Structure 1
Amino acid sequence: MATKLYEGSISPNSRKVRLLAAELDIPIDCVTLNFAKREFRSPEYLARNPNGKVPTLEEDDGFVLWESGAILKYLASKRPDREMVPTDPREQAMLDQWLLWWTAHPEAALYRLIMERLVKPFRGVRGNDPTIVADAEEDLARFLPILDQHLQVHEYIVKRLSVVDYAVAPWLEAAQGPLHVDLRGYGAIAAWLSRMQARPRWISLEAR
Structure 2
Amino acid sequence: MKHSTIQSTSLVALLSSLTGLATAQDYTSSEPFTLQLSSSYSDVDGSFLGACHAGAAIEELCVTGTDGTPAEYNTFALNTSSADASDSDLIYDTGILVWTLPASNINVSEGLIFPANLATNVVAPLFEPGSNGADVVGFDDDNLLFIYSNYVDDKNFTAGVYPAPVEPYPLYQWYACYTYYGAYYYQTLAWVTGGEPNNPTCEAVNVTRIFI
User: TM tier, shorter chain?
Assistant: under 0.3
TM-score by length of 1: 0.27
Indicate the structure with greater helix content: 1
TM-score, with length taken from structure 2: 0.27
Q: Which has the higher strand share?
A: 2
